[in-house]
C-alpha cells in the first residue's frame, strides 16, 4: 500500500482557487474529482486515512457549499467544470500519486476494472510500473480484454529500468492475446509483425510470436496456421514450456480439420504438457480431443470431454469463448434447440469476459440455430446485420463463410436464386484442404441451387473434405440431403454414396432421431427407396428440426416408388410446412409437385376404370366441352336442346369417366386433352 498523503495545516487558505476552507477538504475534493464513478465514503476513508466526525464534517461542508453533490451512488463534484478545474489545479506528481493509491485501494476491495483505469493513468504519465499490481489485474477476468491489453502494453513500454526484459516479452504476448479477444485484430497483428521483424530475443521468443499468428489463423486459414505453427516448432532451442504451448495450440487446429497425424500430435502434446505445464494447457488439449472426436462424427465423446472443463477458470480466459461456442454447437448438433438458445443468451451476456471477438462467432451460431429450427426470415436478417455490423476484414474467414451460408441458403429457399448467386459470386472460396473445411457450410447452401452445375467444383470439394472431418456438417443437418440431391443431379453417384456412408457412421455414434432421420433420408435419395424416406420422415417428426422434416416430406413425395396417394399427402404437408417456415420458394415447388401428382392420379384412376376422353359418348363430350368452357348447366341444356336433368346426368358420367370431382378440375383436364 502507498504511504498516506501529507496534509497541509488545517485552516490554511486555498491558494489554487478551489472552493475549500482547508487542505483536508482540498484532498477530499481532489480524490472525488479523479474518480470516474461516484465516490463512496469508504473510499475516501481509505484514500485519506481519516474517518469519523472529522471526515464527515468536511464532506458535509463541501456538500453545503455545492462543491460536492451527494447521491445514493456516492459523491461527485458539483459540476463537470469544477471537476476539470480541480484536475487542472492538481500538480502532476500529486495526480499520479492519487491514481496510484486509488488503483491499490480498489484492487484490494475487489474492484479490478476501476483499479485498472487508475493504473493506466499512472502508466501514461509516470511510466512507473507496479509489477505485482499489473500482473494481478491482467489476470483478473473482471477486467475486460481491451483494458487488459492497454494495461500490459503501457506497462511494457514503461521507463522502469528494473523491469526484466523477459517480463516485458511475456507482457507483449499476453497483450496480443487480449487484443485478439477484444477484436482489435489490426493492432495485434501489427505488434506481432514488428516484434518478429525486430527479432529481439532469439529463436524461442520468435517461436511464440509465430505461434500467436498461427492461433489467429486457426479458424479462418488453417493452412497458414499450420505453416506458422510448424515454423515455430522448428525453431532451435525451444524451452519445454514453449514447446508444450505450441504443440497444444497446433493440435487444436489439426483436430478441427482432420489433419492425418492428429492422434500422434495429440499424444506428443499430452506428454509435453505433463513435462512442462502451461497456463490453459489442459483446456487447449480438451479442445483438441473434442475436435478430433467431432472430425469423426463422435459428438457424444466430444461433449463429454468439453463437459469436464470449467470455462470460468482464470486460466481458461483465452479459450473461454471457444469452450462456450463448442458446447452450444454440441447442443445444436443434437437438436437441443431450446437448450442452445438459452446458452446463447447467457454467452451474449458474458461478452465482457469472453471478449468482443466472440460476438461474431455467437452471431453466426445464433443464425445457424434459427435456420435449423425454421426461423428463416429472422436468421437471414440477423446474418445480414452481423456481416454489415463491422469491418469484413475483422471477421475470421470461417465466421464470414457461416454468415454468408445462412444468407445463401435462405435466399434459395425463398425462391430468390439470383440473390443467392450474387452473394456466392462475391467471394473467393478455397477448394483445397484444409482451408475448404471452413467453407463446407457455404457449399451446402450452394447445393440448394436448382442449377447445381454452377457450383459443381465447390460442392465436390466440400464433400471430399468430409472424408477428413464431418464436423462442419454436424450443425447443418438439412444440408446433407441438399448436397446429395446436387451430387445426383451432377451425375456423381459415387460421392453421393460416400456422403451417405459418412452420415450412417455419424448417426451410429450420435444415436439420435435427428441424425438417424437424416442418414435414412440421404440413403433413400441415393437408392430411390421410398421405404427409407418414409422411415426418415417418421424419425424427423420426433425432432424440432422443421426444415429437415419438410425436405424429407418433399423427397418422399418426389420418389418414384411412393404410392401416389401417400406422395400427394406428403407434398401437401411439405408445402404447408415450408409456408410456415418462410421458405416460399420451397413451398411453390412443393405445390407444383402436388398438382402434378393430383393430375397423374386422376389420369391413373381414369385409365384403370377403362374410361378417358375416348370413353365419352358424343353427347357427353359436347356437355364436357361446354361446361369446361364456362357454360352453366342451364346454358348447356339450352344450347343442346335437351333438359337440365339430361345435362346433369351426362355431367356425372363425364366426372366418373375422367376421374375428376368438380368443374374446375374438368376445365384443367379438358384444356390438357391434346397433350
Which CA distances in Å does 192 have to 87, 243, 310, 391?
A: 37, 19, 30, 21
Would the pLDDT of 38 be above 50? yes
Q: Are 104 and 115 in contact (CB under 8 A)?
A: yes
Q: Decide which of 555, 577, 608 is a domain's last residue.
A: 608
Determine the 3-state secondary structure of 474 from DSSP.
coil
Identify the band that residue 600 occupies on the pLDDT scale cut at 50, 70 and 90: low
Examine the domain organization and report whether 585 and 636 are in the same domain. no
Task: Return the CATH number at 583.
Answer: 1.25.40
Cβ atoms within 10 A of the Cβ of 492, count? 18
Which CA distances in Å does 362 have to 45, 355, 566, 619?
A: 44, 11, 41, 71
Residue 428 lies in a domain: no
pLDDT computed for residue 4 by the predictor: 37
Measure the CA–CA gap between 101 and 667, rounded to whole angstroms.
92
Residue 185 lies in a domain: no
Q: Are 298 and 474 in contact (CB under 8 A)?
A: no
pLDDT computed for residue 605 by the predictor: 59
Q: Are 253 and 286 in contact (CB under 8 A)?
A: no
Residue 315 lies in a domain: no
Measure the CA–CA gap between 665 and 16, rounded to whole angstroms.
98
The set of cell numbers assigned to 537 is: 420422415
Residue in the block written with cell 450474387: 422
Which CA distances in Å does 463 have to 60, 440, 457, 537?
A: 75, 8, 10, 24
Examine the domain organization and report whether 544 and 662 are in the same domain. no
Examine the domain organization and report whether 623 and 589 are in the same domain. no
Examine the domain organization and report whether 584 and 499 are in the same domain. yes
Examine the domain organization and report whether 516 and 537 are in the same domain. yes
Q: Angle, nearest 10°, between helix axes 317-333 and 299-307?
A: 140
Examine the domain organization and report whether 553 and 649 are in the same domain. no
Which CA distances in Å does 573 have to 521, 580, 584, 587?
A: 17, 11, 14, 10
Residue 69 has φ and ψ, to the nearest 5°, of: -120, 130
Average confidence (pLDDT) over 55-80: 91
Residue 497 lies in a domain: yes
Residue 528 lies in a domain: yes
Examine the domain organization and report whether 579 and 629 are in the same domain. no
pLDDT computed for residue 176 by the predictor: 93
Examine the domain organization and report whether 598 and 552 are in the same domain. yes
Examine the domain organization and report whether 508 and 583 are in the same domain. yes
- To the question of pTM greater than 0.75 for the whole model, the response is yes
Residue 650 lies in a domain: yes
Examine the domain organization and report whether 494 and 600 are in the same domain. yes
Examine the domain organization and report whether 506 and 537 are in the same domain. yes
Q: Are 581 and 550 in contact (CB under 8 A)?
A: yes
- Residue 78, burial from CB neighbour count under 10 angstroms (0-12, 13-18, 19+): middle
Q: What is the tens place of the pLDDT at every residue in 290-334? A: 999 999 999 999 999 999 988 777 777 778 888 999 999 999 999
Average predicted confidence (pLDDT) for the chain = 88
Q: Side-chain half-sphere of 438: how many Cα atoms within 13 Å?
A: 23
Residue from 587, 537, 591, 530 nearest 564 by CA: 530
Q: Decide which of 608, 637, 652 is a domain's last residue.
A: 608
Q: What is the tens place of the pLDDT at every residue in 498-554? A: 999 999 999 999 999 999 999 999 999 999 999 999 999 999 999 999 999 999 999
Q: Decide which of 593, 608, 623 is a domain's last residue.
A: 608
The set of cell numbers assigned to 104 is: 491499490
Q: What is the tens place of the pLDDT at every residue in 415-459? A: 999 999 999 998 888 999 999 999 999 999 999 999 999 999 999
Domain coverage including residue 643: 612-671
Domain count, the chain: 2
Average confidence (pLDDT) over 391-406: 82
Measure the CA–CA gap between 573 and 567, rounded to whole angstroms.
10
Residue 546 lies in a domain: yes
Examine the domain organization and report whether 486 and 504 are in the same domain. yes
Would the pLDDT of 675 be above 60? no
Residue 15 lies in a domain: no
Residue from 174, 103, 112, 176 nearest 144 by CA: 112
Task: Return the CATH number at 629.
Answer: 1.10.10.10
Which CA distances in Å does 198 have to 201, 248, 302, 553?
A: 9, 26, 41, 63
Amino acid at each position: 500500500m502507498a504511504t498516506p498523503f501529507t496534509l497541509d495545516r488545517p485552516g490554511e487558505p486555498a491558494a489554487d482557487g478551489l472552493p475549500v476552507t482547508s487542505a483536508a477538504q482540498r484532498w477530499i475534493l481532489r480524490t472525488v474529482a479523479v474518480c470516474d464513478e461516484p465516490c463512496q465514503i469508504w473510499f475516501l476513508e481509505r484514500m485519506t486515512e481519516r474517518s469519523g466526525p472529522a471526515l464527515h464534517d468536511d464532506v458535509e461542508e463541501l456538500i453545503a457549499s455545492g462543491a460536492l453533490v451527494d447521491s445514493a451512488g456516492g459523491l461527485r463534484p458539483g459540476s463537470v467544470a469544477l471537476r476539470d478545474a480541480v484536475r487542472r489545479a492538481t500538480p502532476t506528481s500529486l495526480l499520479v500519486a492519487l491514481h496510484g493509491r486509488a488503483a491499490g485501494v480498489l484492487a484490494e476491495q475487489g474492484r479490478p476494472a476501476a483499479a485498472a483505469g487508475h493504473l493506466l493513468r499512472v502508466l501514461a504519465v509516470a511510466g512507473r510500473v507496479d509489477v505485482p499490481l499489473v500482473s494481478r489485474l491482467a489476470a483478473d477476468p473482471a477486467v475486460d480484454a481491451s483494458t487488459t491489453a492497454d494495461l500490459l502494453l503501457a506497462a511494457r513500454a514503461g521507463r522502469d529500468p528494473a523491469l526484466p526484459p523477459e517480463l516485458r516479452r511475456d507482457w507483449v504476448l499476453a497483450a496480443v492475446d487480449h487484443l485478439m479477444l477484444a477484436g482489435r485484430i489490426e493492432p495485434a497483428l501489427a505488434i506481432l509483425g514488428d516484434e518478429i521483424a525486430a527479432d529481439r530475443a532469439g529463436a524461442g521468443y520468435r517461436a511464440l510470436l509465430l505461434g500467436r499468428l498461427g492461433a489467429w489463423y486457426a479458424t479462418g486459414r488453417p493452412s497458414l496456421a499450420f505453416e506458422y505453427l510448424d515454423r515455430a516448432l522448428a525453431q532451435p532451442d525451444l524451452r519445454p514450456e514453449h514447446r508444450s504451448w505450441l504443440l497444444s495450440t497446433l493440435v487444436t487446429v489439426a483436430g478441427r480439420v482432420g489433419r492425418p497425424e492428429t492422434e500422434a500430435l495429440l499424444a506428443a502434446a499430452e506428454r509435453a504438457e505433463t513435462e512442462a505445464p502451461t497456463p490453459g494447457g489442459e483446456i487447449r488439449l480438451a479442445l483438441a480431443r473434442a475436435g478430433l472426436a467431432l472430425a469423426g462424427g463422435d459428438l457424444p465423446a466430444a461433449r463429454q470431454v468439453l463437459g469436464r472443463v470449467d470455462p470460468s477458470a482464470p486460466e481458461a480466459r483465452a479459450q473461454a469463448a471457444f469452450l462456450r461456442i463448442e458446447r452450444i454447437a454440441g447442443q445444436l448438433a443434437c437438436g437441443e434447440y431450446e437448450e442452445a438458445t438459452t446458452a446463447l443468451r447467457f454467452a451474449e451476456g458474458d461478452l465482457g469476459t469472453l471478449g468482443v471477438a466472440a460476438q461474431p462467432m455467437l452471431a453466426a451460431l445464433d443464425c445457424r440455430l434459427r435456420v435449423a429450427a425454421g426461423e428463416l426470415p429472422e436468421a437471414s436478417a440477423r446474418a445480414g446485420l452481423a456481416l454489415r455490423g463491422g469491418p469484413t476484414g475483422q471477421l475470421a474467414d470461417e465466421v464470414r463463410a457461416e454468415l454468408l451460408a445462412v444468407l445463401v441458403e435462405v435466399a434459395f429457399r425463398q425462391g430468390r436464386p439470383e440473390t443467392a448467386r450474387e452473394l456466392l459470386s462475391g467471394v473467393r472460396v478455397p477448394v483445397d484442404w484444409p482451408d475448404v473445411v471452413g467453407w463446407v457450410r457455404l457449399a451446402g447452401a450452394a447445393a440448394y441451387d436448382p442449377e447445381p452445375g454452377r457450383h459443381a467444383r465447390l460442392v465436390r470439394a466440400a464433400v471430399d473434405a468430409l472424408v477428413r472431418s464431418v464436423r462442419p456438417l454436424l450443425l447443418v443437418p438439412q444440408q446433407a440431403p441438399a448436397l446429395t440431391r446436387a451430387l445426383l443431379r451432377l451425375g456423381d453417384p459415387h460421392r453421393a454414396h460416400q456422403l451417405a456412408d459418412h452420415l450412417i457412421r455419424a448417426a451410429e455414434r450420435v444415436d439420435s432421431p435427428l441424425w438417424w432421420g437424416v442418414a435414412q433420408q440421404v440413403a433413400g435419395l441415393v437408392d430411390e427407396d421410398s421405404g427409407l424416406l418414409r422411415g426418415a420422415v417418421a424419425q424427423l417428426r420426433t425432432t424440432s428440426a422443421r426444415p429437415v422434416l419438410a425436405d424429407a416430406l418433399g423427397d418422399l413425395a418426389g420418389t418414384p416408388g411412393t404410392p401416389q396417394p401417400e406422395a400427394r399427402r406428403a407434398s401437401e404437408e411439405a408445402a404447408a410446412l415450408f409456408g410456415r417456415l418462410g421458405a416460399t420458394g420451397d413451398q411453390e415447388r412443393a405445390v407444383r409437385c402436388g398438382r402434378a401428382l393430383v393430375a397423374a392420379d386422376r389420369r391413373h384412376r381414369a385409365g384403370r376404370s377403362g374410361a378417358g376422353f375416348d370413353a365419352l359418348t358424343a353427347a357427353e363430350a359436347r356437355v364436357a366441352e361446354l361446361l369446361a368452357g364456362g357454360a352453366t348447366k342451364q346454358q348447356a341444356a339450352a344450347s343442346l336442346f335437351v333438359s337440365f336433368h339430361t345435362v346433369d346426368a351426362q355431367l356425372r358420367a363425364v366426372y366418373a369417366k375422367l376421374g375428376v370431382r368438380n368443374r374446375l378440375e374438368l376445365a384443367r383436364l379438358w384444356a390438357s386433352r391434346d397433350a
